[in-house]
Amino acid sequence: MKARVMVQVADRRLEEQEREIPKVGVDQALLKVEANGLCGSDVEQYKGHFVQKRLVEYPLIPGHEAVGVIAEIGADAAKSWGVKVGDRVALEPHLTCGRCPRCLQGSYHLCRSLLPIKQPPSYGYIPMSYGHGLWGGYSEYIHLHARTILHKLPPELPLELSTMYQAIAAGIRWSLHVPKTTFGDTVLILGPGQRGLGAVIACANAGVKQIIVTGLERDRRKLDLARAFGAHHTIVADRENVVERVMTITGGRGADVALDVTPGATQPVIDAINSVRNGGQVVLAGIKGGTKKVEIDTDTLVFREVSIKGLWTQGIDAYAQAIELLSRNYKKLAPMHTHEFPLSKVATAIEIMAGEHPGQEAISISIHPGR
Ligand SMILES: [Zn+2]
Ligand SMILES: [Zn+2]
């Protein structure tokens, strides 16, 4: 049997190919991909930034936000994952060794020891030269490694909305779990894209006292969605002074937590630092593309005891909570899902995600290999 796949062969070049599907071992499974979500990392991957940083190499099948049904499964895998043929599951991107210090500590997303390759082993970033090559979601099938971490999806959750589990899980870990946010806190979220909205959804469900979201004039629709999902205040960053507005809203105190999820822009990092209270926390999770540097007055951090933490993945608790939250609230959250495409149109989908098609405002995009 063969799988139809979209292979990235060069920067901004995806090619449709066929690839042989190997036999499934006792501790493996075959996932029939029904949907694959896109995020900023897909844009970075498409443009070739990860190859330039020597994190990945071509050719590879991208796609790290896959949802699908178990088409075939070995006896050991069925037992350890608790799933059977026909179950719909969402994948975590990471493949982990389960034995190194980082894995044993629970930080399995920082495991570097599984495969004999340099990059963090993760679906969507493993070259086709390694093993069977079917490692990405831009494909009809993914051959699941024994170390895969997956989550069973409830049948009532519509497929088109299911890929939003990634953005909401990011919001949960970045705005709640790591900064240990509680209901009395004020959280500033810089950037109203899917991760920013995921953070709004997380904070609103946790009863956070004040949720403030920044965006640009062109993000009006996303800022309206942020309010619909529970944000108390929105700031238009290219028209208003972000720090002044946050200080007015908080009575001069500042936010407890500031989360930057803006892609490319560096001013939000400075705004985040200047918007938190003394002893406040800044979480950086927006990818800046590696070329832009941010000048920080470190004395400010010292005298005000502000901490800065970089985060890039979600974690098992956040995924489980995101799927539960999404399943309960999908009707309300549906407007966040803006586009869906067949597999053959994935390049167009990524370009829309990157904002390269004027007039197309993307938040959550899914591609569907079965269509
Ligand atoms: Zn992603
Ligand atoms: Zn490990």
SS3 262: coil
Rounded to whole angstroms, how far apart are CA atoms 244 and 212? 13
Structure-token pair, residue 151: 């989550």
Ligand nearest to the CA of 111: 2
Q: Which residues, by Cβ under 5 Å, contact ligand 2, an ion?
A: 97, 100, 103, 111, 113
CA of 301 to the centre of ligand 1 (A): 30
Is the Cβ–Cβ distance between 237 and 217 less than 8 Å?
Answer: no
- How buried is residue 18: exposed, middle or buried, by Cβ count under 10 Å (0-12/13-18/19+)? exposed
SS3 131: coil
CA of 87 to the centre of ligand 1 (A): 23
Ligand nearest to the CA of 103: 2
Closest C-alpha among 151, 149, 166, 235 to residue 201: 166
Cα angle value 305/308/314 (rounded, 5°): 140
CA of 39 to the centre of ligand 1 (A): 4
Can you name the residues that pair with 213 across neighbouring β-strands? 189, 234
Domains and their CATH numbers in the chain: 2-164+315-368 (3.90.180.10), 179-310 (3.40.50.720)
Ligand nearest to the CA of 99: 2
Q: What is the per-residue pLDDT for 52?
A: 87
CA of 147 to the centre of ligand 2 (A): 10
CA of 121 to the centre of ligand 2 (A): 10
User: Which H or E element spans position 164?
Assistant: none
Ligand nearest to the CA of 102: 2
Model confidence, pTM: 0.94
Ligand nearest to the CA of 353: 1
Closest C-alpha among 110, 131, 157 to residue 28: 131
Closest C-alpha among 150, 169, 183, 184 to residue 69: 150
CA of 108 to the centre of ligand 2 (A): 6
Q: What is the per-residue pLDDT for 287?
A: 86
Rounded to whole angstroms, how far apart are CA atoms 94 and 92? 6
Sheet holding 210-215, edge to edge: 233-236, 210-215, 186-190, 255-260, 276-284, 307-310
Q: Average pLDDT per run of 10 along the chain, which is 371 residues long? A: 97 97 97 96 92 88 98 98 98 89 88 60 90 96 95 95 96 98 97 97 97 96 98 98 98 98 94 98 90 89 97 94 97 97 97 93 94 85
Q: What is the per-residue pLDDT for 121?
A: 80
CA of 41 to the centre of ligand 1 (A): 5
Q: What is the per-residue pLDDT for 224?
A: 98
CA of 212 to the centre of ligand 1 (A): 24
Ligand nearest to the CA of 112: 2
CA of 133 to the centre of ligand 2 (A): 21
In the chain, DSSP assigns E strands to 2-10, 13-20, 29-37, 66-73, 88-95, 141-144, 148-152, 186-190, 210-215, 233-236, 255-260, 276-284, 307-310, 337-342, 364-368
CA of 305 to the centre of ligand 1 (A): 32
CA of 219 to the centre of ligand 2 (A): 40
Ligand nearest to the CA of 120: 2
CA of 112 to the centre of ligand 2 (A): 6
Q: Which residue has the tokens 């004395």?
A: 299
Ligand nearest to the CA of 44: 1
Q: What is the per-residue pLDDT for 117?
A: 55
CA of 126 to the centre of ligand 2 (A): 16
Is the Cβ–Cβ distance between 181 and 256 less than 8 Å?
Answer: yes
Structure-token pair, residue 98: 């389960």
Q: Which long-range contacts (CB under 8 A, 24 or more apart) does 353-361 make?
A: 353/38, 353/39, 353/40, 353/42, 353/43, 354/43, 354/46, 354/47, 361/221, 361/222
Ligand nearest to the CA of 314: 1
CA of 214 to the centre of ligand 1 (A): 21
Question: How many CB atoms are located within 10 Å of the residue 201 CB?
Answer: 28
Q: Which long-range contacts (CB under 8 A, 24 or more apart) does 230-234 make?
A: 230/200, 230/201, 230/203, 230/204, 230/205, 231/189, 231/200, 231/204, 234/192
CA of 248 to the centre of ligand 1 (A): 34
CA of 42 to the centre of ligand 1 (A): 7
